[in-house]
């Protein structure tokens, strides 16, 4: 069966510091991968999605970037964090199909101080 | 994706069936109805989805009206662990992301 991992689970970072969040999927090949953010008291917002290695689509312009160096690895990065980057970051995967049901990871809670 | 409307919150007694409604009056013919839930501080969990017919799995049942303008998610025997925010999402299949609204906060009462 498929499993999705995210780490770290929680992170506290100072403003201006870099960020790297990692997501990996096991038990499947060539998944679609997604990064979402949920700010406090708000809904989930799609940040990036990828349909293959090196293919990244950005939904919201911001100081974050995403990369997909391997088929089942998706990384979210920032060179300099802002206070507004605080939130709950979720990775999800799906298989290309007529429905593309998405399955979410456990999330990373990021606090920028 | 079509817009959905859900009640802000609902209560249900433990052991009873929880019926969560969703209106999607502008749904188009190729859009699916998806349900997810999010327990506090966890990632959203996929529950069920359907196009036209009613669907049932080990977690829940999905009832879609004949005109497809509304649907109901049914948790047949609610437990305290079913307390969560439930999201109804309407979308065409594809690699684009999901659009989550505010959902329904379901509280299961002991």
For chain A, 113 residues long, give each residue's pLDDT as a single digit of tens: 889 999 999 999 999 999 999 999 999 889 999 999 998 878 889 999 999 999 999 888 678 999 999 999 999 999 999 999 999 999 999 987 766 789 999 999 999 99
Tokens linked to A102: 């998405």
Strand bridging mode B9-13 / B104-109: parallel
Nearest to A49 among B42, B49, B97 (CB): B97
Q: Which residue of B has its CA nearest to A37?
A: B43
Nearest-neighbour CA in chain B from A15: distance (Å): 23
Predicted local confidence at residue A3, as pLDDT: 92
Q: Give chain B positions within 8 Å (CB) of A88.
A: 41
Question: What is the arithmetic mean of pLDDT over B42-65?
Answer: 95
Element housing B36 (H / E): strand B32-38
Rounded distance, CA B65 to CA B7, Å? 18
Nearest to B97 among A59, A98, A99 (CB): A59
The four Cα atoms A48, A67, A76, A49 give a dihedral, to 10 degrees, of 20
**CB spacing of B95 vs A49 below 8 angstroms:** yes
**CB spacing of A90 vs B95 below 8 angstroms:** no
For the cut 90, the answer to whether the pLDDT of residue B2 exceeds it is no
Indicate the average pLDDT of chain B: 94
**CB spacing of B97 vs A97 below 8 angstroms:** no
**CB spacing of B43 vs A107 below 8 angstroms:** yes
Question: What is the arithmetic mean of pLDDT over B50-55?
Answer: 93
Predicted local confidence at residue A95, as pLDDT: 87
Q: Which residue of B has its CA nearest to A42?
A: B102
What is the tens place of the pLDDT at every residue in B57-101? 999 999 999 999 999 999 999 999 999 999 999 988 777 788 888
Q: Does A53 touch chain B (CB under 8 A)?
A: no
**Number of C-beta neighbours around residue A81 at 10 A:** 21
């Amino acid at each position: 069966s498929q499993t999705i991992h995210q780490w770290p689970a929680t992170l506290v970072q100072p403003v201006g510091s870099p960020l790297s969040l990692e997501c990996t999927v096991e038990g499947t090949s060539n998944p679609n991968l997604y990064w979402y953010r949920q700010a406090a008291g708000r809904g989930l917002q799609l940040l990036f999605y990828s349909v293959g290695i090196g293919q990244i689509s950005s939904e919201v312009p911001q100081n974050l970037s995403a990369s997909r160096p391997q088929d089942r690895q998706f990384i979210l990065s920032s060179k300099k964090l802002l206070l507004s980057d605080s939130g709950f970051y979720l990775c999800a995967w799906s298989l290309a199909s007529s429905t593309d049901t998405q399955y979410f990871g456990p999330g990373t809670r990021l606090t920028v101080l | 994706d079509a817009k959905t409307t859900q009640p802000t919150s609902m209560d249900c007694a433990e052991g009873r069936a929880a019926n969560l409604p969703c209106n999607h009056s502008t749904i188009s013919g190729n859009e699916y109805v998806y349900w997810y839930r999010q327990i506090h501080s966890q990632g959203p969990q996929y529950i069920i989805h359907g196009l036209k017919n009613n669907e049932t799995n080990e977690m829940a049942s999905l009832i879609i009206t004949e005109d497809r303008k509304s649907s109901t998610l049914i948790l047949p025997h609610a437990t305290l662990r079913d307390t969560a925010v439930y999201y109804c999402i309407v979308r065409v299949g594809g690699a684009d992301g999901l659009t989550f609204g505010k959902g329904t906060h379901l509280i299961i009462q002991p």
